[in-house]
Amino acid sequence: MIWQLDLAILTLVVVCAIAAISVKDLLGSAILFGAYSFMMCLLWAIMGAVDVAFTEASVGAGVSTVFFVAAVFRSTRRTKD
Amino acid sequence: MKIIALAIVILSGGLLLYATQDFPSWADPASPASMHVSPHYLQKSMEETSVPNVVTAVLADYRGFDTMFETTVIFCAGVACFMLLRISRQTPEDRYYRHISTGVTIHIKGGGKIPDKSKEFERIDTMWTPFDLVIKTVCRFLIPFIQLFALYVIAHGHHSPGGGFQGGVIFGASIILLAISHNLRIATKRMREKLVGLLCVTGVFIYAGTGALCLLMGLNFLDYGALAPLLHVDPVEARSLGILIVEVGVGIAVMATMIWIYNNVSSAGKYDEGL
């Protein structure tokens, strides 16, 4: 485990998480959430939990982003608050 | 109100961070979990289940109940989406058709339609843009390989990372890719709504049915060793095969649920026009 890499990915996770809830554009928020999932996937892989990383990559970064985009497409792209 | 909310969030976050100090540190060999259960799984799973990948052995055999109810949760999510979104009785809607040779678009109001098999006209979505040849060709080329990879992930879960969940999601994603790159009607023609719902139930049924079969054969629920007389192998090999059967069930259920949720969400329950 390389701690510099670990720290960089952890920082990106926090940045993605904060950005995903503060961005006004919901489509951008969905993409940021996908990026967050991908960073988490890298973290799992670093910690040696390859099965969890695989699940995170396929479910979190892949399909759930598509669901979010579909939901945004059918509702509104802007948040009220 | 926002300040109170922020204070509560910071307080509970701080308490959670404070509580993590009591956790054993990462990969600590002296932690309770690594003292008793983990060594048993690591040392005995190969001779008890003949599955080289310990994670699969734990997930589908030692902790089979967990995985069964995880599958049920996914199934419930699909059913909830269906119940919330699906609109069964529709008012006749406007349809758009495009004359293939000239590109003229006609708008038919109030439920009128041109037969789907018409050679001159093709039905298009309200917000239709011309198909991009690159996207269409690349997706057509990719989808079979994605599906093959999904089957490999399911079947190879005994030896490498992967299994029913991941393979099912990848297989579902390939059908979703077809729906995105072409349109929803082409995808639902390949995977009809009834078939998707049926597959969803079948996957959960395969899992629970395997467990019940073990019960019928005289051992505990989900103790795959009981299947040995049926499969004509010794009990250890039967546990390995039982895991494979269960993983296939999980894969079918997850694949169908992903397609089901996508179809319902992207078409707002009408199964007419998608993303």
* Residues B41-67 pLDDT 10s: 888 888 888 888 888 888 888 888 999
User: What's the distance, CA B253 to chain centroid?
Assistant: 6
Supply the angle between the helices B235-266 and B193-216 in degrees, to the nearest 10.
160
Please report where in the chains the tokens 């690349």 appear, as a residue.
B138
d(CA B164, CA B70): 12
- pLDDT band at residue B220 under the 50/70/90 scheme: confident
Binary contact (A54, B166; C-beta < 8 A): yes
* Inside any domain, residue B15: no
Q: What angle do CA B197, B200, B202 make, to 5 degrees?
A: 110
| Dihedral-angle region of residue B271 (phi above 0 means left; psi in -120 to 50 means alpha; beta otherwise) | left
DSSP H or E stretch at residue B150: helix B133-155
Confidence check on the interface: ipTM exceeds 0.90, yes or no = no
- Give B204's pLDDT tier (boundaries 50, 70, 90): very high
* A46 in a structural domain: yes
- A79, B52, B205, B213, B246 from B231: Cα distances, Å: 57, 21, 19, 12, 15
* Residue A81: per-residue pLDDT: 67
- Please check the confidence at residue B275 and state whether its pLDDT lies above 80: no
> What band does B168 get if pLDDT is binned at 50, 70 and 90?
very high
Return the pLDDT at A37: 93
Q: Is residue B106 a part of any domain in this protein?
A: no
User: Are B265 and A70 in contact (CB < 8 Å)?
Assistant: yes
Give contacts of B 156-185 with A, CB under 8 A: 161-163, 165-166, 169-170, 172-173, 176, 180
More confident residue, B254 or B96: B254
% of chain B residues with pLDDT over 90: 34
**Residue B131 DSSP class:** P
Three-state DSSP at B132 gives coil
pLDDT attached to residue B45: 82
Higher pLDDT, B126 or A9: A9
User: B76 lies in a domain?
Assistant: yes
Range of the domain at A60: 3-74
Contact B154, B134 (CB under 8 A): no
Confidence of residue B238 (pLDDT cuts 50, 70, 90): confident
For the ranges B91-105, B135-149, B258-272, the lowest mean pLDDT is seen at: B91-105
Out of B166, B176, B268, name the one closest to residue A66 (CB): B176
The pTM (predicted TM-score) of the whole model is: 0.87
Classify residue B45: in a domain, yes or no. Answer: no
On whether residue B175 sits in a domain, the answer given is yes
Provide the number of structural domains found in chain A: 1
Query: Residue B105's beta-bridge partner residues?
Result: B98
Is position B32 within any domain?
no
* Cβ–Cβ contact B147 with A under 8 A: no
Range of the domain at B175: 55-89+129-266
Query: Smallest Cβ distance to B261: which of A51, A54, A67?
Result: A67
Residue A66 resides in a domain: yes
E strands, A1-81, in order: none
Record: contact A51-B173, CB cut-off 8 A: no
With contact defined as beta carbons under 8 Å apart, do B253 and B168 qualify? yes
Domain count, chain B: 1
- Per the DSSP assignment, residues forming a β-bridge with B121 are B99
Distance CA B209, CA B245 (A): 10
**Residues with pLDDT less than 50, chain A:** none
